[in-house]
Amino acid sequence: MSTNQENQENAIPAITLPADQFGHTGAPTEWWWHIGTLHSEDGRTFGFEINATGMQATKNAPYSYAFTQIEITDVENQHNYQNVTVFNPLPADWAEYDTTEQWFVKLGEDNSDGAVSMTAIDGNPLHMHVQATFTDNDPETSTKTDCQIDLNFFQQGSPLLVWGNGCNLVDPAGKSPITRNNYYYSLTHLQAAGTIRIGTEEIKVTGLTWMDHEYGAFPNGSTGKVIWLLQDIQLDNGLHLSNYTKFGVIPQENVPIPSNATLLVDGESIFVNTVTTPLGPTFVSKKGVTYFLRFKIEFEDYKHLSFMVESSYPDQVFRDPGADVYEGVATAQFLFDLTEKKQIVISQGTSWIEQNLG
């Protein structure tokens, strides 16, 4: 692709909502990913994830498929319920691509194991009714627990456009914008309300949650392991940000990693350089992979300001026949260093930790 062609693509608004909430014809990958922190009426805290992903056939993977990832973390009882379900091939009617029709995303039959359904509320795809059902199979106890998530989401305010504009060149050899670029935005002001069910216990919950919609090219061409770290943060003072480490960098405890964050400030998405340091304690999965339970995130140019993210429960690793991934609810603090030994908390809030370590 020529420099002029790239500049022309970047001059066009990369994300237009609500139109881009719909599916995108020709996208090699596409997913809608709901995560966040929920609270019950009696003060309990829960983390949740509902992810529906579609992967088209490519030269590197000559078949299409889809999968769902669903989980509930009961923070008070320190227990994680989860399920990964693969659909092969990718169903042709899994999502709505026509913006004149009613928006939806659907994998699996209603109420079946691993099923996810997302539909628009009152015709607005940024207001969503999302349902997920799954059975958790605990390998330690051989216990099966049926679970369900049923939530309404109402977006308020502007989206967070990752990289500042929602578009990043991934594959210069791609034949079209959707195969050259990765498009990525987040709805970070989702007012959520509904119920979760764990076994026979049904719990009313509310919260401020987060949704990612990512589509287009994806950097699968790494010669090494597919590795990244991600932290999404929602602070009580209204600051929201998404931070990620450089693709393919293997994390080590107490070793700073170059990273980047997109901050949503007064409706504007601002892309900045950061430094992320994985910290102990750690959690070692059954496959022997070490995951980090705390992260320090610093602005590259303002080292006296930092974010501290801490997992709310150690074992939030999705059990998968292939590569596991850590997806977990966490807390966050925004800190100011008065001196080398004294900090003050500017704000605090909720966070989400993702660790894909191959």
Q: Are 357 and 227 in contact (CB under 8 A)?
A: yes
Determine the structural domain holding residue 143 and report its residue range: 1-221
Same domain for 52 and 193, yes or no, is yes
Same domain for 196 and 298, yes or no, is no
Same domain for 319 and 335, yes or no, is yes
Model pLDDT for residues 186-235, shown as the tens digit of each residue: 999 999 999 999 999 999 999 999 999 999 998 754 455 679 999 999 99
Same domain for 193 and 230, yes or no, is no
Closest listed residue to residue 113, CA positions, set 140, 93, 138, 83: 83
pLDDT of the residue at 58: 80
Split at pLDDT 50, 70, 90, the class of 247 is confident
pLDDT of the residue at 224: 55
Model pLDDT for residues 258-299, shown as the tens digit of each residue: 999 999 999 999 999 999 999 999 999 988 999 999 999 999
**Rg of the chain in Å (alpha carbons):** 20
Same domain for 162 and 262, yes or no, is no
Model pLDDT for residues 109-147, shown as the tens digit of each residue: 999 999 999 999 999 999 999 999 999 999 889 999 999
Q: Are 23 and 192 in contact (CB under 8 A)?
A: no
The Cα 269–Cα 250 span in angstroms is: 28
- Reduced to 3 states, what is the DSSP secondary structure of residue 164? helix
Tell me the CATH number at 318.
Answer: 2.40.128
Residue at which a domain ends, from 190, 221, 252: 221
Residue at which a domain ends, from 221, 243, 271: 221
